[in-house]
Amino acid sequence: MEKIKIIYQVLEKLNIHSDDTRITEELVSSLIDTKRAMLLKQMYAKSSWNMPTEIKQELCLSLTLTDKVDGYSCAGKILTTQVLPASIKIKGKEGPLLVRVEDGSVISLNRVAVERIPYLFENRYLQNVTYCAEDLSGKLLIISNNNKYKFLKNIKVTDVFSNPDEASKLSCNYDSSINDVWEKPYACEIGMIDNIVNLVVKDLLRTVQIPSDNKNDALDDRR
């Protein structure tokens, strides 16, 4: 379902028309993302690697080779991407990141903290492991001791992101001149939508006083 339809479901439950209220569609959109993330953390607390494909998004990213990131360097090669939206962390941990490289093959990247970069290849038994990290600006880093990776120019990353709208802007077929992210299918299981809508409505009713305005006259009578 497109996100704009979920937004309208919330507004309809609140008996609010888009031209009649101080509650903006942007506010509702943000709350939808927050409740989606909360529910996903609850639902997949014990099986985060088994998340269904409909909540995942594939992004097309360009790569730049560098020697040092945030003051850290290592024996391997470091590739950086543009800034990514945050991934959803389950119990504070994230599973391996799946990346499709230019020849179509998929590699699994072990996530590490950026401060571990200088020590990644000290263990000779782990020389062939490929890692990823996030720098302080939110860029994805790919760290490898394999020379073949330094020639990569583009990758496709599949993950579950906390802000699906921002992730959509990095999708392979996104065109800002013709695409509205709210008109694209929302990265959510269809069975979650009613729960998300009800949680958003509950939050708005609790935090924002909404007197009744039964007249849709494009005027906000709830003042």
Report the pLDDT averaged over residues 66-74.
77
Q: What is the dihedral of CA 196, 197, 198, 200, to 10 degrees?
A: 80
Same domain for 155 and 78: yes
Whether residue 181 lies inside any domain: the answer is no
- The DSSP annotation for 108-137 comes to EEEE--GGGGGGTTSSGGGTT--EEEE-TT
Whether residue 212 lies inside any domain: the answer is no
Cβ-based burial of 25 (10 A; exposed 0-12, middle 13-18, buried ≥19) = middle
Whether residue 217 lies inside any domain: the answer is no
Give the pLDDT of residue 210.
Answer: 58
Tally of domains within the chain: 2
Q: What is the pLDDT of residues 16-48, one digit of tens each?
A: 755 555 789 999 999 999 999 999 989 888 766
Closest among 63, 156, 61 to 107, alpha carbons compared: 156
Same domain for 65 and 26: no
CATH of the domain at 78: 2.40.30
Same domain for 162 and 67: yes
* Amino acid in position 219: L
Same domain for 137 and 191: no
**Listed range (57-61, 154-158, 208-212) with the worst mean pLDDT:** 208-212
Q: What is the pLDDT of residues 74-129, one digit of tens each?
A: 766 789 999 999 888 776 556 678 889 888 888 888 888 888 888 887 777 777 78
Same domain for 32 and 13: yes
DSSP 188: S
Same domain for 97 and 123: yes
Cβ-based burial of 1 (10 A; exposed 0-12, middle 13-18, buried ≥19) = exposed
Whether residue 220 lies inside any domain: the answer is no
Same domain for 25 and 120: no
Q: Which two tokens stand for residue 152?
A: 């990569």
Q: What is the pLDDT of residues 162-186, one digit of tens each?
A: 999 999 999 887 877 767 889 888 9
Same domain for 118 and 145: yes
User: Which domain does 119 fall in, by range?
Assistant: 57-168
Give the pLDDT of residue 174.
Answer: 83
Determine contact, residues 221/30, Cβ cutoff 8 Å: no
Same domain for 137 and 107: yes
Whether residue 85 lies inside any domain: the answer is yes
Same domain for 72 and 134: yes
CA separation for the pair 221, 154 (Å, rounded): 53
Edge-to-edge order in the sheet of strand 64-69: 57-62, 154-159, 97-100, 106-111, 131-134, 139-144, 72-83, 64-69
Distances (CA, A) of 132 to 5, 78, 91, 193: 36, 9, 19, 32
pTM metric for this prediction: 0.80
CA separation for the pair 44, 25 (Å, rounded): 28
Whether residue 147 lies inside any domain: the answer is yes
Whether residue 222 lies inside any domain: the answer is no
Whether residue 180 lies inside any domain: the answer is no
Q: How many CB atoms within 10 Å of residue 177?
A: 4
CA separation for the pair 165, 174 (Å, rounded): 11
Closest among 29, 9, 7, 1 to 166, alpha carbons compared: 29
Give the pLDDT of residue 223.
Answer: 45
Tell me the pairing of strands 57-62 and 72-83: unpaired
Within 8 A by CB and 6+ apart from 26, the residues are: none
Same domain for 46 and 144: no
Same domain for 138 and 37: no
